[in-house]
Structure 1
Amino acid sequence: MKDAMTPTPANLRHLLSDATTRLRAAGIEAPQREARLLAAHAAGTDLAGLLRIDTLPPADHATFMQILQRRLHHEPMAHITGHTGFWSLDVAVSPATLIPRADTETLVEAVLDHLPDRNAPLRVLDIGTGTGCLLLAVLTEYPQATGIGTDINPDAARLATRNAARNGLAARCDMLCCNWADGITGPFDLILSNPPYIPHADLKGLMPEVVRHEPARALDGGADGLVAYRALAAILPGLLAPGGIAVLELGIGQDHSVPALMHEGGLRILEIRPDLGKIGRALVMKK
């Protein structure tokens, strides 16, 4: 007789139906899609491959039940799978960094419009690089460009280094552990940053996935959400090359306060580009 705890084969349709119900009850958005993503990960396939599966074998069934419990406790899907997509890249993630968001791709779109020469030998700096996703996305679009990513967290810098190798870009960039751009010598044709910008009092109101699992240091923008921008306003003019641009991510409602800070620091605003939600997201500037 089998032990009651021994994993058994499971009908995938029934498994997905039950998981969807449980995920919906836990307040997970798009529960049906999330259930399918979990099943695909457990089965070692993708959503298309999942269509060819009727039954999960015992080992995959056990894995699915384990990772379903993690998702029910609001652990981010990217942490469960260990990676996520950004731009044209697949990047590894960890609790040391923010999970790349689609909104941040707005910065890459802005760069492409303001620097139209794809063969330009750009020198790029990404301040607070996290997973390295912004810098690496730009390098894929500009094959002659080179770059430096900085992060105060050594675990983040190591992760960004791995992501550069993962995407075949290690020869064109260095990921360094430092505070902002300490010890970095310009000039740079392009400076990128997605800094911490959530006002401290607002952190507790963020989604459980964010509050429980993403690093507060990468989110907390101080009392007014502007601490990081003040630091950037002080250093960007000295790092930008003549004709170079800086592109920063903005938080909700910061499309007036941050440009004012940057203008006071000696930068000229070229554009505030909205994301798909019509929120001013990418601030483009030059000296």
Structure 2
Amino acid sequence: MNGRATAAQAMAAASARLRAAGVPDPARDARMLLAHAARIEASRVTLIAPEELDPAIAERFEQLIALRAIRVPVSHLLGERDFYGRRFKVSRDVLDPRPETEILIEAALAEPFSRVLDLGTGSGCILVTLLAERAEARGTGVDLSSAACLQASANAVLHRVEARAEILQSDWLDQVSGRFDLIVSNPPYIACDEMDGLSAEVREHEPEMALTDGGDGLGAYRRIAADAPGHMTGGGRLLVEIGPTQAAVVTDLLDAAGLERVQVIQDLDGRDRVVAARRPR
């Protein structure tokens, strides 16, 4: 790629390079990265396709493609990711928001709530989304990572919910006080022996502590089941995202913790995705 190539030629060459590197959907990535290099919306790339690339844009595009070829995630290169209709700032310090987690959001929004606690908040996408969707609600997000807490705070400011959001550095509920009528979490649920099966983008560029507990992938659920009920109001709800094979054991943990009306919610592909439970009144 050089300053004399047209945008279309640069994209074609970048797509071929990414395909050779084994990157899934290389044409989409090349298009998004060219838009980012040119500082335009991706929908406008077709308008500049016949034009020669400005050398500065071509250089930025080359750098982005080189990084993507070694499997740096597109979201990290863009510095943002879309989630539930909003754009969130992300980095290698937090787990990328996943579209599957929107199932948890839908379940949370199905009933009213006034105080929400997000355990392992990461980017803050769950907490911030819930507060943005419910203007009367207040919430707390906790994370063991100080970098994640900073990222969540930034996203709260970005979406103008910072006055209703408290971000705490905490090992799960250790620093949490008070009771909540909604507790949500997308905890690390990948077993240690499953890590090698993850894509290079996830395994090498997302924080390990947000992916796995270093054991069987159930450690976070044991902590939540033990401590969350004491921070729930009567009738309050608990919603946790799970891995596709964990529904039965997580259901048993929440049952044993004295919670009731435990149910499994599936995602759009029919996979078990969220376990919901309620504290008795």
Please report the TM-score for the alignment, with normalisation by the length of structure 1.
Answer: 0.93
Is the CA contact (8 Å cut-off) linking 1:146 and 1:172 kept in structure 2? yes
Give the superposition deviation at 1:221.
Answer: 2.9
Cα deviation for residue 24 of structure 1 reads 1.4
Q: Which amino acid aligns with 1:107?
A: L
Note if 1:14 corresponds to 2:9: yes
Structure 2 residue runs without a partner (length 5+): none
SS in 1 for 2:273: strand
Provide, for residues 140-174 of structure 1, a one-character-per-residue CA deviation record: whole Å limited to 9, x for no partner.
11110000000000010011001100111111101
Aligned pairs for 1:84-103 within 5 A: 84-103=81-100
CA distance in 1, matches of 2:142, 2:156: 13
Mapped partners of 1:22, 1:274: distance in 2: 37
Q: Number of residues paired by the alignment?
A: 277
For residue 77 of structure 2, what is the aligned residue in structure 1? 80
Aligned match of 2:133 = 141
Q: Following TM superposition, by how much is the alpha carbon of 1:223 offset from its aligned partner in structure 2, in angstroms?
A: 2.6
C-alpha RMSD of matched pairs (Å): 1.4
CA contact (8 A) 1:252 1:280 kept: yes
CA contact (8 A) 1:126 1:191 kept: yes
For residues 124 and 217 of structure 1, the distance between their equivalents in structure 2, rounded to whole angstroms, comes to 23
Identity %: 39
Secondary structure of the residue aligned to 1:256 is helix
5+ residue gaps, structure 1: none
| Match in the other structure for 1:44 | 39
Question: How far apart are 1:70 and its partner, in Å?
Answer: 0.3
AA aligned to 1:185 is: S
The amino acid that maps onto 1:147 is G
Q: Give the distance between the partners of 2:195 and 2:206, measured in 1 at CA.
A: 11
Partners of 2:24 and 2:268 lie apart in 1 by 19
Determine if contact 2:236/2:278 at 8 Å carries over to the other structure: yes
- State yes or no: 1:246 paired with 2:238: yes
After the TM superposition, which residues 92-241 of structure 1 pair with which residues of structure 2 at under 5 Å, given as runs?
Answer: 92-113=89-110, 115=111, 117=112, 122-241=114-233
Specify the SS of the correspondent of 1:28.
coil
Task: Tell me the TM-score normalised to structure 2 length.
Answer: 0.95
Distance 1:259 1:55 in 2: 58
Do 1:199 and 1:224's aligned partners in 2 also have CA atoms closer than 8 Å? Answer: yes
Is the 8 Å Cα contact of residues 186 and 241 (structure 1) preserved in structure 2?
no
Q: 1:267 aligns with which of 259, 273, 276?
A: 259
2:94, 2:122 within 8 Å by CA — same for their partners in 1? yes
1:195-233 per-position Cα deviation (integer Å, ceiling 9, x unaligned) = 110000111221000111011111113432111110000
Aligned to 2:255, the other structure's residue is in SS state: helix
The whole-number CA distance in structure 1 between the counterparts of 2:138 and 2:124 is 13
1-structure distance, mates of 2:235, 2:206: 36
Distance 2:14 2:268 in 1: 30
Of residues 48, 59, 70, the one that matches 1:62 is 59
2:47 is paired with a residue of what secondary structure? coil
Range that drifts further, 195-204 or 15-24: 15-24
Separation (CA, whole Å) in 2 of partners of 1:167 and 1:180:
24
Q: Deviations over 1:213-258 (max 9, x none)?
A: 0111111134321111100000111011111101100012011111
Q: 1:102 Cα deviation (Å)?
A: 0.4
